[in-house]
Chain A
Amino acid sequence: GAGVSQSPSNKVTEKGKDVELRCDPISGHTALYWYRQRLGQGLEFLIYFQGNSAPDKSGLPSDRFSAERTGESVSTLTIQRTQQEDSAVYLCASSRNAPGIFNYGYTFGSGTRLTVV
């Protein structure tokens, strides 16, 4: 497809369960990002993949969060032992190498709305 695709679009899970969120970036975009937006908050950076470089994991809030990306394709964000405070919209974005990002910005997916009950 032409855009960034995320699945599922909505996920309701019980506290303590693990969840896996998927992101398909735009073909040819070497950079991939995960952000989350909790209710009433701005977008919060989680993790950044750039080509074959080691990912920037500095935004992951705890060791319950992890993400993988195979090459320059699909990425999965895994949250283990979910807590209610993990409820948020999880957004994935991809971009071309800099400086393109500053002219064109990221392209975001529509997000996965995660609700932990």
Chain B
Amino acid sequence: DQQVKQNSPSLSVQEGRISILNCDYTNSMFDYFLWYKKYPAEGPTFLISISSIKDKNEDGRFTVFLNKSAKHLSLHIVPSQPGDSAVYFCAASPQGGSEKLVFGKGTKLTVNP
């Protein structure tokens, strides 16, 4: 049973436009949510995180929105650049301060020049 779901396996956007990557979760006890970016043949790299007590966190072109009532979060990338093309993983941390993360299956983003 998947606790973190990324229902879109892929997304294609035009350079300069907004990319919106979605993530849903089922466990209301999750405390923190993180986004990772992964290029082929490399390990995932941390992108941005959000605590469950917030509804928005922004870092440059990247913004994560959290809707606790809907158990939904999204990552917005504005403006999208070809170098953003990668697989994006959503991850969540169970309550209790555990650092063990639960990951979604990822969404492959392609930004076309």
Contacting chain B: which of A13-21, A72-80, A100-108? Answer: A100-108
**In this complex, what residue of A is CB-closest to B90?**
A42
- Report the bound CA distance from A70 to B42 in whole Å: 26
CB < 8 Å: which of B42, B51, B89 contacts A42? B89
Q: B45 near A: Cβ within 8 Å?
A: yes
Determine whether the beta carbon of A104 is less than 8 Å from that of B46: yes
Determine whether the beta carbon of A98 is less than 8 Å from that of B89: no
Q: A114 near B: Cβ within 8 Å?
A: no
Chain B 16-53, CB-CB to A under 8 Å as 1, else 0, gives: 00000000000000001010100001111111010100
* Among B6, B44, B103, residue most surrounded by chain A Cβ atoms (within 10 Å): B44
- Give the residues in chain B near A4, CB-CB below 8 Å: 43
- Report the bound CA distance from A73 to B73 in whole Å: 35
- Residues on A facing B (Cβ under 8 Å): 4, 31, 33, 35, 40-45, 48, 50, 56, 58-59, 91, 93, 95, 98, 101-111
